[in-house]
Amino acid sequence: MSGRVVVAGLGPGADALITPEVSAALADATDIVGYIPYVRRVAPRPGLTLHASDNRVELDRARRALEMAQAGARVVVVSSGDPGVFAMASALFEALEDGPETWRGLDIRVLPGITAMLAASARAGAPLGHDFCAINLSDNLKPWAVIEKRLRLAVEADFAMAFYNPRSLARPEGFGRVLELLRETCEPARLILFARAVSTLEEALNIVPLSEARPEMADMRTVVIVGSSLTRQIPGTELIYTPRGVPE
């Protein structure tokens, strides 16, 4: 009898934010597959094998999971946040489409998780309370020209924007270019939330106007939320929100 593959989101960091559905899948798994820091979040136990791998090998990881499932294993592929938001679900389906037809008969499920932008927004109030978009600022899988075009169009449409993977050691200059673009196209008072390691002991939230934003305020554990032109901060608080309506 063939096994199955579950692609599961572990949420932003706190165990309390892992859904019961994901917890049940982890408890039933024979094998856990994922990026090293995420696999470390799964407690070892008898009968469970942990398969941790480095970054940038998502397709290899997905193929290995499908191979193990075909051999009868109950595999859980783990991602942080939600597996369908810049994470492993897309990689697994890419591997499935390109792989042998027999893989398509496997039991494959995607279990949602709380992604970083939603956890950060909740901590700060409701900056994503109206229309918004999410943009991955990494240029590993798409050229910078595409990122810049999407940023400019999102600003033109006056979306609130959630930025994933803003700044890494390998590409420290990219987020600086993003801030330059925002300063060209947005007012200096536009609110920006830097939310780092939300729901963990290292959590830190910083709300600043665009004029005070600096590249070093972000790293790979930070999700950055840029408000729309209507986003505002409630005086005397650290709460920001975007109104539900747009004036005519």
**């949420």: which residue's tokens?**
11
What pLDDT sits at residue 140? Answer: 85
From 45, 79, 114, give the residue that closes a domain: 114
Residues in the chain: 248
Q: Give pTM, 2 decimals.
A: 0.93
What pLDDT sits at residue 235? Answer: 95
Give the number of other CB atoms < 10 A from CB of residue 55: 11
Distance of CA 168 to the CA centre of its chain: 15
Pair 80, 196 in one domain: no
- Residue 202's domain spans which residues? 117-241
| 5/31 Cα distance (integer angstroms) | 10
What pLDDT sits at residue 54? Answer: 86
What pLDDT sits at residue 31? Answer: 98
What pLDDT sits at residue 43? Answer: 94
| 5/32 Cα distance (integer angstroms) | 10
| 7/107 Cα distance (integer angstroms) | 11
Pair 107, 207 in one domain: no
Pair 95, 191 in one domain: no
What pLDDT sits at residue 56? Answer: 80
What pLDDT sits at residue 239? Answer: 97
Q: How many domains does the chain have?
A: 2
Beta-carbon contacts of residue 231 (< 8 Å; ≥ 6 apart): 127, 160, 190, 191, 240, 241, 242
Q: Please report the DSSP string for 48-101 in residue order.
A: -EEEEE-TT-HHHHHHHHHHHHHTT-EEEEEESB-TTSSSHHHHHHHHHHHS-G
What pLDDT sits at residue 80? Answer: 94
CATH number, position 57:
3.40.1010.10
What pLDDT sits at residue 171? Answer: 75
| CA distance readout (Å), 223 to 12, 116, 120, 226 | 10, 7, 7, 10
Helix (H, G, I), strand (E, B) or coil at 191: strand
Pair 126, 98 in one domain: no
| 98/63 Cα distance (integer angstroms) | 10
Q: How high is the mean pLDDT in each 10-residue block of the chain (248 residues)? A: 89 95 97 96 96 90 97 97 96 97 96 96 97 94 94 97 88 88 97 97 97 95 97 96 91
